[in-house]
């Protein structure tokens, strides 16, 4: 799916289902981080009008997702816990966000963002296909479609603004590295855990 090297073991979804409050808190903060990341890309690359336009819309969608998760948390009588660390994303950031020209830094960040969207999309599908909770199953299917669109947006801009850079080769390299990183996950009740 989306070129990912390693599929998530569906048993991860059973683990998640044993602690819905925890996954919802973690998920809410994932959406906040996604919105913040899009705004950071905008602020660092404001000369690209089309990128600003599309990432403003994307940031708004991520905030809407945050709001939707928060509404579910409230409706179920849960509490939005404190922000959770995302060690998968932090590991990915370290391997991907190395130096280079300003143009290379933009491509790096766009590929990093596309990668997180791709894995989140895959995790949402695994949740949607495997959890018994019907409301959440439907919810995660909707989000899966939205995040797949975000993946395409980021990868599309990486190709557009990566003139003179072998973006497809760098994407393939990142897919390999992500495949190594994700081997150590799939064992906890978090979206990328």
Work out which of 84, 109, 125, 150 binds Fe ion, going by CB under 5 A. 150
* 125 interacts with Fe ion by CB under 5 A: no
What's the burial of 190, exposed, middle or buried (CB within 10 Å: 0-12/13-18/19+)?
buried
Nearest distance in Å: CB 193, Fe ion:
17
Cβ proximity to Fe ion: between 34 and 92 the closer is 34
Contacts of Fe ion in 91-120 (CB under 5 A): 117
Nearest distance in Å: CB 59, Fe ion:
10
Question: What backbone torsions phi and psi does residue 8 show, to the nearest 5 degrees?
Answer: -75, 135
Nearest distance in Å: CB 154, Fe ion:
9
Closest of 5, 39, 31 to residue 117, by C-alpha? 31
Work out which of 26, 62, 86, 122 binds Fe ion, going by CB under 5 A. 62
- Count the residues of the shown chain that bind Fe ion, applying the rule CB under 5 A: 7
Nearest distance in Å: CB 20, Fe ion:
18
The length of the chain in residues reads 193
Stretch that binds Fe ion, among 4-12, 26-34, 78-86, 161-169 (CB under 5 A): 26-34
SS3 (DSSP) at 63:
helix
Work out which of 23, 28, 38, 65 binds Fe ion, going by CB under 5 A. 65
Q: Give the separation between CA 92 and CA 75, rounded to whole angstroms.
A: 34
**Are the beta carbons of 185 and 91 closer than 8 angstroms?**
no
* 147 interacts with Fe ion by CB under 5 A: yes
* 123 interacts with Fe ion by CB under 5 A: no
**Exposure on the CB side of residue 108, measured as CA atoms within 13 A:** 15
Question: Please, which residues have CB within 8 angstroms of residue 171's CB and are 6 or more apart in sequence?
Answer: 3, 111, 114, 155, 158
Interface residues with Fe ion (CB under 5 A)?
Answer: 31, 34, 62, 65, 117, 147, 150
């Amino acid at each position: 799916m989306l070129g990912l090297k390693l599929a998530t073991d569906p048993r991860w979804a059973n683990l998640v289902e044993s602690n819905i409050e925890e996954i919802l808190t973690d998920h809410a903060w994932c959406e906040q981080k996604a919105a913040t990341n899009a705004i950071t890309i905008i602020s660092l690359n404001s000369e690209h009008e089309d990128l600003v336009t599309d990432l403003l819309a994307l940031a708004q969608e991520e905030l809407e997702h945050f709001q939707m998760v928060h509404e579910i948390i409230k409706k179920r009588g849960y509490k939005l816990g404190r922000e959770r660390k995302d060690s998968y994303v932090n590991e990915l950031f370290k391997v991907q966000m190395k130096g280079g020209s300003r143009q290379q830094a933009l491509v790096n960040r766009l590929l990093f963002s596309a990668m997180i969207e791709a894995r989140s999309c895959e995790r949402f599908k695994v949740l949607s296909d495997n959890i018994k909770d019907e409301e959440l199953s439907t919810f995660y299917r909707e989000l899966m479609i939205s995040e797949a669109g975000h993946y395409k947006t980021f990868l599309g801009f990486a190709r557009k603004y990566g003139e003179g850079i072998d973006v497809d080769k760098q994407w393939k390299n990142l897919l390999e590295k992500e495949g190594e990183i994700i081997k150590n996950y799939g064992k906890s009740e978090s979206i990328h855990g």
